[in-house]
Amino acid sequence: MRLKNTTQLIIVAIAVTILSLLYFFYPAAQYSFYPRCIFHSLTGLDCPGCGSQRAASALLHGRLLTAINYNLLFVVVLPIVVAAAFVFCWNIFSHKKLQQRLLYQPLFVKTLLWVVLLFWVLRNVPVAPFTWLKA
């Protein structure tokens, strides 16, 4: 089982490294070969993920405020994802296991779902200050 997890971890690490290099050297805001949002293409509205590719590129270049302008939710949730990835990696290679209680709490999951839905709705309201959430 440990070998399988290690192999999966290596594959994910390689994929993250390649994608990071791609977004660093070919910023999403400057190149058009990145996939487009189907929801935005069909409706003209932003989904919760719209702008996250550009936000990732901006973060890789150290431009936090630009990333926040592209997708605030992505920037806020990214540290949680990174922390969860760290705990996962730690648990593969360490005998002392860390617990990820927060991510598995029903209240956290429900709250995150409501935050994503609220963000989705509010970023499409065409009135300030909600227009600041636009991608």
The dihedral of CA 38, 17, 74, 63: what is its sign? negative
User: By three-state DSSP, how is residue 28 classified?
Assistant: coil
Contacts of 14 (CB under 8 A, 6+ apart): none
100-123, pLDDT tens digit by residue?
A: 888 888 999 999 999 999 999 999
How confident is the model over 7-26, as pLDDT tens digits?
A: 888 888 899 999 999 999 99
3-state secondary structure of 16: helix
pLDDT digits (tens, 9 = 90+) for 27-51: 999 998 999 999 999 999 999 999 9
Q: What is the pLDDT of residue 134?
A: 80
pLDDT tens-place string over residues 52-105:
999 999 999 999 999 999 999 999 999 999 998 888 888 877 788 888 888 888
Q: Using CA atoms in the order 40, 123, 125, 132, what is the torsion angle rounded to 10 degrees?
A: -120
